[in-house]
Amino acid sequence: MDERDTRKLVSATNVMLLIAFALFLACIYLTLYLTKTFGPFSALTTLTISTILQELIALIIPVVVFIRYKRFNFSKYLRIKPAKLGMSIRIFFLAVSGYLFITCFIVLWNIVFGTQFSYKPGLENYISNDFIGTMGMVVNVAVFAAIGEEILFRGMLLRGLQPLGNFKAVILTAFAFAVFHLSFARLGYTFMLGIIMGYITIATGNIMYSILYHLLHNTISIFIDITYLVQNALSATEKTNYILAYVAIMLFSASIMYVIYISIKDQTKAQRESEQQRLAELEEKLIIQNRVKSETEEYILEDDTENSEDCLIETEVNPKIEMKNYERTELLSLRNEFDDGEYLTPVRIRTNLTNLSGYIVFVIVATCIIIATVMGYSPFQY
């Protein structure tokens, strides 16, 4: 992909972000309309309607349209690959330590800016005492939200912005993820969460681990809301006195996260090198097999005798030369793994306002909505 095509890709990605945001706002108003016209619904039913409209339809449809329009391979462009058990375990421990980090960050954000954000007050109306209701809550908030948001942000947006550089792509994607939530109280922690999940995607080359991290984080937040406990157990003075403790916990959990992250990078690198070595071995075996068959066929054409036919039969069944069916399948899989296509290797370009025009418009509109909401003029009043 040359520089011109790369710029078009980046610009198109930002335009699709703007379209997704417009569709997201439309779905919010559609949810309010359905609730007022056909309601009142139960809290869980309302949550389900809003989740399906906002998280799945509004976020995933623009991605599908974009990839189909560009004629990209869906799974390759979004980096959708099977998750491995060993890496998934690392992501689990990363999510646990990351939850401690994010929780302390939220508490400090509340102290500095005077907000009162915690997960529980916003979710307690939806959590049912019965098993089915609780699982419905988990599916809506954890599963659907993780899939929809990760496909848009760590899938389409992060991939489309990577020609600007990994660092810029992660930061811009994380900030878009933060303002997309349209909440000043959630702005800081969603930004940090976006950075973590962005680097997970880049380090592993697999969006499934980012989805898994997001799912685990949301699930833990539903059942264990430490922020809510701190908000209600401590007075304003006590919260301030414990600032050093929050910072210490943040640093401790950040160090654990860093160790796990390095382990993830090393594991991914080792796995990649092993797969490349295996691919080279299979390619070499295929070359030898084809060369032997070609030489044998030429020999048969020159001297079509019974001995020559016997030689051909022996060559075809020679286990050292003939590739097994499972080896052919493995070879095709590895070729598919490393053959990303030209559209996944765009040239590096500089960041400018033209490339990010759609992104800038999105941030301005989202910021205005956040400011209006903080000032008490929420646009989401039907």
pLDDT tens per residue, range 315-337: 444 555 566 777 777 777 777 76
* Range in 81-95, 226-240, 325-339 the model is least confident about: 226-240
pLDDT over threshold 50, residue 164: yes
Do 251 and 100 touch, CB atoms closer than 8 A?
Answer: no
289: in domain: no
Strand, helix or coil at 128? coil
237: in domain: yes
* Range in 48-52, 87-91, 344-348, 353-357 the model is least confident about: 344-348
pTM: 0.84
pLDDT over threshold 70, residue 245: yes
364: in domain: yes
pLDDT band of residue 56 (cuts 50, 70, 90) is: confident
87: in domain: yes
192: in domain: yes
292: in domain: no
CA distances from 96 to 122, 217, 257 (A): 21, 7, 9
> Would you state the pLDDT for residue 317?
44
**Rounded to whole angstroms, how far apart are CA atoms 210 and 219?**
14
The set of long-range contacts for 1-7, using a CB threshold of 8 Å and a minimum separation of 24, is: 1/342, 1/343, 1/345, 1/346, 1/347, 2/347, 3/347, 3/349, 5/346, 6/163, 6/346, 6/347, 6/349, 7/349, 7/354, 7/355
109: in domain: yes
pLDDT band of residue 363 (cuts 50, 70, 90) is: very high
Residue range 128-161, pLDDT digits in tens: 556 676 777 788 888 999 999 999 999 999 999 9
pLDDT band of residue 198 (cuts 50, 70, 90) is: very high
319: in domain: no
> Would you state the pLDDT for residue 299?
58
Q: How many structural domains compose the chain? A: 1
Give the helix ranges, DSSP H, for the chain.
3-38, 43-51, 58-70, 74-78, 85-113, 119-123, 131-138, 145-150, 158-161, 166-180, 187-204, 207-223, 226-233, 236-241, 243-302, 306-316, 325-338, 357-374
Q: Could you tell me the residue range of the domain that residue 269 belongs to?
A: 3-283+327-374
Choose between 278 and 125: higher pLDDT.
Answer: 278
